[in-house]
Structure 1
Amino acid sequence: MTERSRRRPWLAALLALVVSGLGHAYLRRWARALGWYLAVTAAVVAFVPESAISGAFAGDPPAVREVAPAAAVVGASVIDAYVVALRNNRAYERERGETGATDATDSTDDGTANTTTAASAETTAGDGTVRCPACGKETDPAVDFCQWCAEPLGDADGA
């Protein structure tokens, strides 16, 4: 449903460290970005003393134990952004592996073989799914074109 692209895990982690939620926004995980931003804000409001906050703004660094709860939440956000980026890249590689083949033969559950070529009009797997030969995404078998890239799925003359 969404177009994936490779992301840099180190950049997602760095952005999450700089501004809470920014690493997740880079990964286009909007709800997760908002959630981490709110979690860090809540940790600061609930656990960091106001004197430490005002002292930090005045140039007096607070004690580590005063900001440790907020720092722990920020650390968890950084780790989460890194892991989500790695998972995104693995999913991207899997998608490319599925659609990258131009000539393949695989067997179905009933023992028959499905041969797909780049020139075939459509690819029907043993489980009834139809894949577009142009983009490789699953399409609706009830229509004669790919809803993702608008390429026709069947031969125009019906042969």
Structure 2
Amino acid sequence: MTWLRALAAGGLSVVFPGAGHALIRDWTRALVFAGLYLSAVVIFLPTEQIAAAGSMTESMDLVTQETDTIGQFALSFIVLFAAIDATFRSLGFPPDSPSATDGPTCPECGKELDEDLEFCHWCTTRLEAPEDDEDEAVGTRSD
């Protein structure tokens, strides 16, 4: 399932940079990559000519003819970097060190959790209650 999620995140980032990060709920990176890509589109593509074009075919001809090599490289680099980053992040790389978090972590995704939740709010994995807490809860009920 992790590989499928990684492929989906990478594929969505190829379609639109930032979408793969939104899939894995990395909102800051999603906004950064989407903003970076949209800024590059405005800077490097002839947006006014594309808006004035009569058809989609004419728009695509304008994009291929009017975009210089540096613009094509910049847009391709952003798309490629977003796809690679989303793929690796969905696989859990770089690994988060367990000493970095003070509280409990999810056994599936490794992100920090609230102690009173019964599921991970990041990946929706159902969490088992610790046995010590169940014994204490049962002991207090019978008193």
Q: TM-score, normalised by structure 2?
A: 0.56
The equivalent of 2:19 in structure 1 is 22
Relative contact order (C-alpha < 8 Å, sep 6+): which is higher?
2
The residue number in structure 2 matching 1:69 is 74
Instruction: Report the equivalent of 1:156.
Output: 140
2:46 to 17, 25, 50: 50
Identity of matched residues, %:
21
Separation of aligned partners in 2, 1:13 and 1:53: 31
Q: Distance in 2 between matches of 1:34 and 1:85?
A: 16
Structure 2 residue identity aligned to 1:70: L
Which one has a larger percent strand, Structure 1 or Structure 2? 1
Offset of 1:53 from its aligned partner? 6.7
Q: 1:95 to 1:40 in 2, by over 3 A?
A: same
Contact 2:16 2:79 in 1 (8 A): no
Against the structure 1 CA distance between its residues 138 and 34, is the aligned structure 2 distance closer, same or farther, given a 3 Å change threshold?
Answer: closer
Q: CA deviation at 1:95?
A: 4.4
Select the structure of larger CA radius of gyration: 1
Q: Which runs of 5+ in 2 are unaligned?
A: 97-104, 119-128
Structure 1 segments unaligned to the other structure (5+ residues): 98-136, 140-146
Partner SS state of residue 87, structure 1: coil
- Runs ≥4 residues deviating over 4 A: none
Q: Which amino acid aligns with 2:33?
A: W
- The CA RMSD over aligned residues, in Å, is 3.9
Greater CA drift, 54-63 or 7-16 = 54-63
User: How far apart, in 2, do the equivalents of 1:8 and 1:22 lie?
Assistant: 13
Following the alignment from structure 1 to structure 2, what is the Cα–Cα distance between the partners of residues 67 and 53?
17
TM-fit CA distance, 1:81? 0.5
Quick check: 2:17–2:78 contact (8 Å CA) kept in 1?
no
Number of paired residues? 106
